[in-house]
Amino acid sequence: MSIPYRRVLLKMSGEALMGDTGFGIDWDIVHRVAGEVATVRRQGVQVCLVVGGGNIFRGGPAAGQGMERASADYMGMLATVMNALALQHALDQIEVPTRVLSAIPMASVCEPYVRRRAVRHLEKGRVVIFAAGTGNPYFTTDTAAALRAAEMGCDALLKGTQVDGVYSADPKTDPSAVRYEQLSYLEVLARDLRVMDASAITLARDNHIPILVFSIHDKGSFADVLAGTGKCTLIGAEAESTILATGESGV
């Protein structure tokens, strides 16, 4: 199975790591994800990751309950560091060299984020996990993922979600929801599909980074999607070009 990408970034929500536990970390899922990352790495692809912290703490809801927003967001960033260390541990156990780089310096547990250092780690075959978002409040881990993908020169940004692509509505609550095979960046923004926030979509568009949205829960899906055989929704400029040329939607 040949993968046409040289370097990719996988973005996962924190909720993806908690499984059915309702809170915290499901280690079976962490180890499965680590195994899938290892499989892709063995095929010569340089892999970096961004993981959210919603399984431990979410800044938005805390701010909605009266907590000062910046402090709530910083707490959420610290939750992402905990998840990053969990993934690093799982990768270490299967002998995959891994580095955690945090946008908030905490030298006792991980390296500070330095772009050139991160690039060197990738070039040496190490998996790099970016933690603590962008290091700034009011920015989501989706935006952090798009930013890091641009900084690292990634060929694709993969968004591992709870469902197998982008839908017109939540398919878990709306049986009439339509699944899209392909979307342009503009369509995602215009239809307010919310697969990623607007800043992330715009960053990906400006840097010509395709986004592949797939289910992180389907075994082997990470490698399959990269190889072009897995089920996903492609968000990119190709669909946008079709729309501009024909005046019609490409989905």
Question: Chain-wide mean pLDDT for the chain?
Answer: 92
Predicted pLDDT at 237: 82
> For residue range 205-233, what is the model confidence (pLDDT) as tens digits?
999 999 999 999 999 999 999 999 999 99
pLDDT band of residue 3 (cuts 50, 70, 90) is confident
Q: Which residues pair with 130 in a beta bridge?
A: 50, 101
Choose among 134, 123, 119: nearest CA to 197.
134
Domains, the chain: 7-246 (3.40.1160.10)
- Burial class from Cβ neighbours inside 10 Å (0-12, 13-18, 19+) for residue 211 reads buried
pLDDT band of residue 249 (cuts 50, 70, 90) is very low
> For residue range 120-142, what is the model confidence (pLDDT) as tens digits?
999 999 999 999 999 999 999 99
Choose among 193, 196, 94: nearest CA to 145.
196
Contact 215, 13 (CB under 8 A): no
Q: How far apart are CA 222 and CA 226, in angstroms?
A: 6
> For residue range 58-77, what is the model confidence (pLDDT) as tens digits?
877 887 888 999 999 999 99
Average pLDDT over residues 237-242: 56
CA distances from 146 to 49, 222, 243 (A): 11, 18, 24
